[in-house]
Amino acid sequence: MLIVERPRIEQALAELDLLPLMETAFIDYSAGRAIVPPVGELLLDQGEVHIKYGAIAGEAFYVIKIASGFYGNPALGLPSSNGLMLVFRQETGEPEAVLLDEGHLTDVRTAAAGAVAARALAPPDVERIGVLGTGVQARLQLRQLASLFETREVVAWGRDRQHLETYRTDMAEAGYDVLAAESPTAVAAASQLIVTTTPSSTPLLQAEDVRPGTHITAIGSDTAEKQELAADVLALADVLVGDSLEQCRTRGEISRALAAGAIMADTAVELGSLLAGEATGRTEADQVTVFDSTGVAVQDIAIATAVMDAVTTA
């Protein structure tokens, strides 16, 4: 059994084009070619742990992923994310590898999913990208969007001013010109594509904040307790998309809007169906679109399989 540590995993990721992998995974999921049981979850006093697992028909492996988020860790000099992936041979059940990625694969596949959704749903001319949050996803989402949109202008907001200044500096080194905003509302007023990346439990954006033509990729709300978008934002959306409608009924932005009675159960469509051409996305430039990302095991299977192929054929 292989034990693959993060440096080798990062080396493998540098050789991969992740967006086609994520697109195929979502299409497989929506087409019913995947087995994805409900998410296992531990909500602890200091953090949260998610257990996601599943298999895709015809793939070599099934994968069990453990990923955690402990948001006080940066004050201790530790990363907020951690975890690993266990890879098993689908044909025999034999353990093939432990990917000791420290949560990096989860972070990267989440960012790639955000880029897939933005490519499918964002307006044709994005002049400025808005970002809520200053952490890992706030960085990785921009890096994944870099190949899709020419703009390098960003307006960002974060609760901690020092973290926001550090984010500005880091992203400047990556080629982005980041303007610090005083509020989420100011971000929305200046952006056509917004990525929300916080663990907030109270809405940061209201419908009145969102300009016509905006696309929002909502990343941070992946449990039943979190919420970055007010329910009326989802009601406003001309196109509402979830990564897994089954998961979105119990966690994330769609679940909160359903509970508030702001949308109906059939309001949203699934990303894989949209990518397969079985659902309609943006048809006009002034439409508002929202993607609710809760994180699906097929993303983990896709990225783990690609890394396994890279490390075993090198």
Q: Quick one: which of 169, 172, 175 has its CA closest to 147?
A: 175
Quick one: 85 and 139 in the same domain? no
CA–CA distance, 94 with 275 (Å, rounded to integer): 33
| pLDDT at residue 177 in the model | 97
Q: What is the pTM of this model?
A: 0.95
- In one-letter notation, the amino acid at residue 268 is A
DSSP-assigned states of every residue in 139-208: HHHHHHHTTT----EEEEE-S-HHHHHHHHHHHHHTT-EEEEPSSHHHHHHH-SEEEE----SS-SB-GG
CATH number, domain containing residue 173 = 3.40.50.720
Quick one: 132 and 213 in the same domain? yes
Quick one: 126 and 54 in the same domain? no
Strand pairing class (153-157; 177-180):
parallel
Residue 52 annotated to the active site: no
Indicate if the alpha-carbon torsion angle 104, 105, 108, 113 is positive or negative.
Answer: negative
CA–CA distance, 252 with 305 (Å, rounded to integer): 27
Quick one: 90 and 139 in the same domain? no
Angle between helices 297-313 and 18-30 (to 10 degrees): 140
CATH number, domain containing residue 20 = 3.30.1780.10
Angle between helices 18-30 and 104-121 (to 10 degrees): 80
| pLDDT at residue 80 in the model | 86
CA–CA distance, 5 with 17 (Å, rounded to integer): 20
Instruction: Answer whether residue 115 is part of any domain.
Output: no
pLDDT, one tens digit for every residue, the chain (314 residues): 999 999 999 999 999 999 999 999 999 999 999 999 999 999 899 999 999 999 999 999 999 999 998 988 988 999 888 999 999 999 999 999 999 999 999 999 999 999 999 999 999 899 999 999 999 999 999 999 999 999 999 999 999 999 999 999 999 999 999 999 999 999 999 999 999 999 999 999 999 999 999 999 999 999 899 999 999 999 999 999 999 999 999 999 999 999 999 999 899 999 999 999 999 999 999 999 999 999 999 999 999 999 999 999 86
User: Of the listed 65, 128, 251, 282, which one is catalytic?
Assistant: 65
Instruction: Answer whether residue 116 is part of any domain.
Output: no
Domain of residue 23: give its range: 2-106+297-313
Q: Which residues lie closer than 8 Å to 32 by C-beta, 6 or more apart? A: none
